[in-house]
Amino acid sequence: MTVFGILGAGQVGSTLARASLAAGYDVVLANSRGPQTLQGLVWQLAEEVGPRVRAAHVEEAAAMADLAILAFPYAPGTRLPNDELAGKVVIDNNNYMVWRDGTIAEVDSGRKTIHELRQEQLPASKIVKAFTHVQFHGRHQLRVPEDGLPAVQRLARPAGAPDRTAMVVSSDFPEAVAVVTRLYDDLGFDAVDNSPLSESWRSTPGTPMWRHHVDGQSRAELLENLRRAQRELT
Ligand SMILES: NC(=O)c1ccc[n+]([C@@H]2O[C@H](COP(=O)([O-])OP(=O)(O)OC[C@H]3O[C@@H](n4cnc5c(N)ncnc54)[C@H](OP(=O)(O)O)[C@@H]3O)[C@@H](O)[C@H]2O)c1
């Protein structure tokens, strides 16, 4: 069974834990404050979805993981479990948000994408940009009642369903794209490969495809929206 190491247990991490547990993955969750702060969430997930979930320290979760996700913002100088993640596929779910992260000149100038910077932080791992453009939090206060579920759960459909939506994946490693394509499929989504990481600016906040993070988009719509993206450089 695949152990999914989810580093970051906020909106994204907790929702993805729920969805991947339901899809048959084993889950180990970590945050920056330690496993003792995650016991309530783990008990809730175990009761509602299934028992194959536990909390651990970041290094322990990274070591246990067959596949990992960094579900927290990028910041230069962050200490990451590089040794424990070496050789592994590591999903980067981060969106660069100036209001939260400040300005990052290499990204603003177009020299690098934020995910290439993550790859530099973890040079021995295989970074994949994924799950950056789907809503992970309920929005019942803003939308109609049936929109209470996070889009990553609400939009999930079995393979072949006519209204199945697609999500984008970018990496410098084809084998990492294959792993995430399988994960997307297990969670109810098609995949569109927008590799390498240097091309991942096409799916950043504000681009035509990103605007569909609540309502979703078909594979054909996603391909067209990626094609229409225009890079804004400063
Ligand atoms: N929310 C969405 O709908 C959504 C959609 C697409 C993409 N994203 C992106 O996904 C990322 C996470 O968003 P979020 O909304 O889930 O944030 P969030 O609710 O603030 O959760 C962040 C989580 O990351 C943990 N964390 C922070 N630094 C860490 C580190 N160095 N090691 C391990 N865990 C760490 C935090 O733990 P502590 O609380 O212990 O510090 C917290 O559990 C962001 O980059 C965001 O741009 C979010």
Query: How many alpha carbons fall within 13 Å on the CB side of residue 145?
Result: 0
For residue 1, is pLDDT > 90? Answer: no
- pLDDT score for 60: 98
pLDDT for res 3: 98
Query: Which residues fall within 8 angstroms of residue 144, CB to CB, at 6 or more apart?
Result: none
Determine the distance separating the centroid of ligand 1 and the alpha carbon of 130, expressed in angstroms: 14
**pLDDT at residue 138, as a whole number:** 76
Whether the bond between 73 and the residue before it is cis, its omega within 30 degrees of 0, is: no
Among 117, 100, 126, smallest CA distance to 205 is for 100
Summarize pLDDT for 18-53 with one digit per residue, the tens.
999 999 999 999 999 999 999 999 999 999 999 999
Residue 155 CA, ligand 1 centroid: distance in Å: 21
State residue 147's pLDDT score: 63
Cα of 75 to ligand 1 centre, how many Å? 12
- Closest atom of ligand 1 to 32 CA is 40
* pLDDT value for 143: 55
154: Cβ–Cβ under 8 A, 6 or more apart, which residues?
146, 147
Cβ(81) – ligand 1 distance below 6 Å: no
Whether residue 41 has its Cβ less than 6 Å from ligand 1? no
Residue nearest to atom 10 of ligand 1 (CA): 94
Give distance in angstroms: CA of 121 to centre of ligand 1.
Answer: 17
What distance in angstroms lies between residue 74's CA and the mean position of ligand 1's atoms?
10
74 touches ligand 1 (CB under 6 Å): no
Distance 225 CA to ligand 1 centre (A): 26
- Closest atom of ligand 1 relative to the 100 alpha carbon: 47
pLDDT tens string 67-91: 999 999 999 999 999 999 999 999 9
pLDDT digits (tens, 9 = 90+) for 100-150: 999 999 999 999 999 999 999 999 999 999 999 998 987 655 555 566 789
pLDDT in tens, 189-212: 999 999 999 999 999 999 999 999
How much of the chain exceeds pLDDT 90, in percent? 90
Residues 6+ apart with CB under 8 A from 40: none
* Whether 100 contacts 58, CB under 8 Å: no
pLDDT of residue 141: 57
Q: What is the pTM of this model?
A: 0.96
Q: Provide the pLDDT for residue 148.
A: 74
Report the atom number in ligand 1 closest to the C-alpha of 94: 45
